[in-house]
Structure 1
């Protein structure tokens, strides 16, 4: 994602649409991101949950946003920190987010030396993590964190490998979802089929309340 400049991306996007070729999910996610950012206020607060090495953070900065980037994986966070150290518009928090404050096991793939594989690191274990490292991380109560900010949040991007389910549930239970400008969420039904029922209930609620500011089809 974000392998080309905005003008290059938009040129390719509209050429593909002219030829009536359906975009792949990654390109569709990029288009959704750009469309949202173009309508978001400059200087707003962007929260990047699962920032990884900071590609989304970097694009949000290009739109004048201030960014709070959460990344619990130390391999990805090393790159993230090197990339944005000294940037006073980026705050990096080396923790995970969830429905409650706690410590939890965090699972990495065995080929974690390849920083690209850190995108699969998760609070939920899958077959991809077999023989990989496990470490204990601190999990922040997402709702409490948002309440403590005491300022509006323009955008939340959430790509946290299955933990999005518990986070979405508490955002709805608390009602704080109404105070967030927009949410871009990547869901992981394919990796965690046991969560699909809970995600279906979340989707049903979004549809019933006609919540156009929450997208679960991102990424």
Structure 2
């Protein structure tokens, strides 16, 4: 560099740094645009696949409300329904907006939520403040309220994971008593009772299970004392009682539908089994697709940070 700030090299021998940096910038811009287009295409493809998936489920008669699946075509008109673990009545509200209901029973163990349900729905349905429990449990049971309301449970360790607010004694009710209050049968029962669902169904009498048409269950197997083996054992028992099973969130078990095939006319039963097989196949394909996407993302992420 000369004293006057000019380069001593002739123009033909100077390094064109602007050209190099310009090429890098343009390359980065092109790469960013390609990535943006790729992300847009993937988003569009997922949206299309999701619409096709839900269209196929609709054609097969499956409805999903508030994370609980069931066959809408099997519901009687009007239907008798039960919401075990009703929370604030979200599932019941969504269900009655689409289907005619003749009788309903909402059971909630949390005193504050039971009071809310009574104020919101007390004039149109039966609200019971109780904890649904296994057969032959009478009297009261300790219910642990968590600082996270949806984690409140009869299992103290579950509520403790989010922080315990307090413990209260609440009335205990088994499935037989709930069915008696519904007139002896139920077309659709939804279970979201924070771990108690396994004991309730495992100890239920065969006659009580025979009185149910569809049970849509959220299993909570990821915390003790409930394990995946307990859920599998229950599913085996339900098959023995004549139920077909749809896992609507395979490979997880937080949306499992039990359909009492014995309440379906014999002439329709085989055809309905085929329908359930198709529905299960769709859910398995969806689950396998999302698992493969997660796996590929993990592999790419690891490759980026490998030495």
Task: Report TM bin, short chain.
Answer: 0.7 to 0.9
Aligned residue number for residue 64 of structure 1: 100
The number of equivalent residue pairs is 192
**Residue 237 of structure 2 is aligned with which of 182, 195, 205?**
205
Question: Normalization by structure 2: what TM-score?
Answer: 0.54
Q: Structure 1 residues 44, 131: closer, same or farther in 2, change over 3 A?
A: closer
Counterpart CA distance in 2 for 1:19 and 1:140 is 39
Q: TM-score, normalised by structure 1?
A: 0.74
- CA deviations over 1:31-86 (Å, ceiling 9, x no partner): 98565234311222101100010011112322111210001102222322222132
Q: Render the CA deviation track for 1:199-218: whole Å, top value 9, x for unaligned.
A: 22112233566622676642
Q: Residue 185 in 1 paired to residue 221 in 2?
A: no
| SS of equivalent residue, structure 2 residue 81 | strand
Q: How large is the Cα RMSD of the aligned pairs?
A: 3.1
Q: 1:78 aligns with which of 115, 126, 139?
A: 115
Alpha-carbon distance in 2 for matches of 1:209, 1:101 = 25
Partner of 1:25: none
User: Residue 179 of structure 2: which of 113, 126, 146 is its match?
Assistant: 146
Larger Rg: 2
- Extract unaligned runs of 5+ from structure 1: 1-11, 21-27, 112-116
Distance across 2 between alignment mates of 1:180 and 1:13: 36
CA distance in 1, matches of 2:86, 2:243: 24
CA distance in 2, matches of 1:152, 1:103: 25
* Structure 1 or 2: more helix by fraction: 2
Q: Give 5+ residue unaligned stretches, structure 2.
A: 1-45, 55-62, 248-252, 257-307
Shift of 1:188: 0.3
| Correspondences of 1:1-219 after superposition (within 5 Å) | 16-18=50-52, 29-30=64-65, 33=68, 36-62=71-97, 63-65=99-101, 66-87=103-124, 90-99=125-134, 100-109=137-146, 111=147, 117-125=148-156, 126=158, 127-128=160-161, 130-147=163-180, 149-171=182-204, 173-192=205-224, 194-207=226-239, 211-212=243-244, 217-218=254-255
Question: Could you list the per-position Cα deviations for residues 151-181 of structure 1 after superposition, in whole angstroms to 9, with x for gaps in the alignment?
Answer: 321011111000101101122x434212211
